[in-house]
Amino acid sequence: MIVMKFGGSSVESAEAIDRVASIVRSHRDRHPLVVVSAMGKTTNRLLEMAEVAVKGESREALRLCGELKTFHETNFRKDSVVDEIFDRLSKLLEGLSILGEMTPRSIDAVSSFGESLSSYIVTQRFVDCGLNAAHADSRHFVVTDDRHTQANPDYTRTRERLQRLPDGIVVMGGFIGSTAEGVTTTLGRGGSDFSASIIGACCDAEEIQIWTDVDGILTADPRVIPGGHRVKEISFAEAAELAYFGAKVLHPSTVVPAIQKNIPVLILNSRRPESPGTRIRSESVSCANAVKSIACKTNITVVDIRSTRMLMAHGFLRRIFEVFDHHRTSVDMVTTSEVSVSLTIDNTTRLPAILSDLREFAEAEPAGDQAIICLVGENIRSTPGIASRAFGTVGGANIRMISQGASRLNLSFVVAGKDLRAAVESLHAEFFSTLDPAVFE
């Protein structure tokens, strides 16, 4: 059995879904289980109408809901089940308008409609295309804790429930699950990849395929510079570093269940299914190049924290990270000296409160519009001169922070957002002027 996950761009229209049906048909002898994201930008649209509703503008929220219904009917057909789903959404929006607030639980309830719709629509389209497809509501099979908007899976209960899947080519929505009590939860933005990996691990799949709109992992982020080279094979460790530091082709959590079960993951292009994509495997991948890929993370904020009073003081770092933990804000990079700490965050929702707490015991100043550049490759640990080559190449950019991860698989640094493109272009020319043909295409 294989798990095939298709992202939002792969199921954004009737034409796109028909391409997916053709791809699934070509793999049906491998007993595929299909996981789909919401169609196009549906999740964003759902959250937008919810925000409008909590402001008391129920009429506008329902108008937006009607537009979304038309979009789904245009890309499918009028259907009583789709009508029922949108009736439930309308009632939820009316309730939010009365309450006037959004809780993590209500955010999950609203955003879950995208995958509920797409999984049902894709199933029916598969049937129309002659496939023996069956719909399975992920909320009945993927069990999580109650950490709404970022739920963690309960693998034992999920494995037990997945034994009761219907026959045929099963289609499930990614991103969503429920608590053991049946309350809807989500796995976080981009969590459909994670869903595929959870389901693959719990079903002992022979392979997990992530179908997207690019040919696999590339040597540079195509959103920053075009013309990167396809990476044929990469290790789980390298892929995890790339995912964490901004490679949008893969959700950061995806590889975790796959690593634990030693299940290979393939990144493939639904618009060019003939492309072999990128294979992620547990073993190291021998390569003549020092660097496998360059990842980027944009819209980063650097927080500089300084206190001469804390010079050599025990517990300074602990106090800093307690503040970020209290405000549930993750830190990407950290650099320290005796009297100062600089760190980066990509979620500034709680930044004012974080700064207020930090300023009780230190000076704290933020700098926005920064970017992390991350060179990833297992050869970084054993190749001398990587840092001097990298920093010499981007000499025109002001580097604010430098970090080499404990894994020694990456070399990361922070530059101003305006310098990102030029820096990545220079680095790509430096490290990929020649290519190992066994690893790159």
Q: Name the percent of the chain lying above pLDDT 70.
A: 97
Q: What's the pLDDT tens digit per position in 189-220? A: 778 889 999 999 999 999 999 998 888 989 99
- Residue 80 or residue 311, greater confidence: 80
Give the mean pLDDT of 90-105.
93
pLDDT of residue 223: 83
Does the pLDDT value for residue 249 go beyond 60? Answer: yes
- Residue 189 or residue 33, greater confidence: 33
**Strands ordered across the beta sheet of 340-345:** 334-336, 340-345, 293-306, 363-376, 410-416, 399-404
Q: How confident is the model at residue 63 (pLDDT cuts 50, 70, 90)?
A: very high
Q: Which two tokens stand for residue 342?
A: 């600089």
pLDDT of residue 247: 64
**Of all residues in the chain, what percent are helix, strand and coil, respectively (each to 5)?**
40, 25, 35
CB 384 within 8 A of CB 409: no
Q: Which two tokens stand for residue 195?
A: 């869903």
Q: How confident is the model at residue 267 (pLDDT cuts 50, 70, 90)?
A: very high
3-class state of residue 285 by DSSP = coil
**DSSP-assigned letter for residue 167:** S
**Nearest to residue 334, comparing CAs of 326, 344, 348, 322?**
344
Phi, psi (degrees; rounded to nearest 5) at 188: 100, 160
Does the pLDDT value for residue 232 go beyond 60? Answer: yes
For the chain, what is the radius of gyration of the CA atoms? 23
Bridge-based pairing of strands 207-212 and 2-6 is parallel
Measured between alpha carbons, how far is 434 from 374 in angstroms, rounded to an integer? 20
Does the pLDDT value for residue 34 go beyond 60? Answer: yes
Give the mean pLDDT of 352-369.
93
Bridge-based pairing of strands 334-336 and 363-376 is unpaired
Q: Which two tokens stand for residue 328?
A: 């549930």
In this structure, which long-range contacts are made by residues 133-137, counting pairs with CB atoms below 8 Å and at least 24 apart in sequence? Answer: 133/34, 133/168, 133/169, 133/170, 133/171, 134/166, 134/167, 134/168, 134/169, 134/170, 134/171, 135/170, 135/171, 135/172, 136/165, 136/166, 136/170, 136/171, 136/172, 137/172, 137/173
CB 282 within 8 A of CB 262: yes
CB 400 within 8 A of CB 366: no
Let me know how long the chain is: 441
Give the mean pLDDT of 426-433.
93
Measured between alpha carbons, how far is 376 from 412 in angstroms, rounded to an integer? 9
Give the mean pLDDT of 259-288.
90
Does the pLDDT value for residue 404 go beyond 80? Answer: no
Q: What's the pLDDT tens digit per position in 141-174? A: 999 999 999 899 999 999 999 999 999 999 999 9
The end-to-end CA distance of the chain, in Å, is 29
pLDDT of residue 276: 94
pLDDT of residue 380: 86
Tokens 């100062």 -> residue? 340
**Strands ordered across the beta sheet of 233-235:** 133-136, 169-173, 32-36, 2-6, 207-212, 265-269, 278-281, 233-235
**Nearest to residue 380, comparing CAs of 393, 389, 367, 392?**
389
Measured between alpha carbons, how far is 300 from 246 in angstroms, rounded to an integer? 11
pTM metric for this prediction: 0.85
Q: How confident is the model at residue 95 (pLDDT cuts 50, 70, 90)?
A: very high
Q: Which two tokens stand for residue 368?
A: 């926005």
pLDDT of residue 407: 59
- Identify the bridge partners of residue 36 per DSSP, sorted by sequence position: 6, 173
For the chain, give the mean pLDDT: 90
CB 229 within 8 A of CB 222: no
pLDDT of residue 254: 77
Q: Transcribe 339-397 into DSSP letters.
A: SEEEEEES--TTHHHHHHHHTTTSEEEEEEEEEEEEEE-GGGGT-TTHHHHHHHHTTTS
For residue 300, CA distances in Å to 16, 60, 335, 391, 414 come to: 33, 33, 15, 20, 9
Q: Which two tokens stand for residue 91?
A: 């009632």
Tokens 């939820």 -> residue? 92
Q: How confident is the model at residue 224 (pLDDT cuts 50, 70, 90)?
A: confident
Measured between alpha carbons, how far is 187 from 5 in angstroms, rounded to an integer? 15
Q: What's the pLDDT tens digit per position in 275-312? A: 999 999 888 888 999 999 998 889 999 999 988 776 55
Does the pLDDT value for residue 406 go beyond 60? Answer: no
AA identity, residue 31: H
**Nearest to residue 364, comparing CAs of 375, 353, 372?**
353
Q: Which two tokens stand for residue 6?
A: 């298709």
Measured between alpha carbons, how far is 233 from 245 in angstroms, rounded to an integer? 19
Q: What's the pLDDT tens digit per position in 363-402? A: 999 999 999 999 999 888 888 888 889 888 887 888 888 8
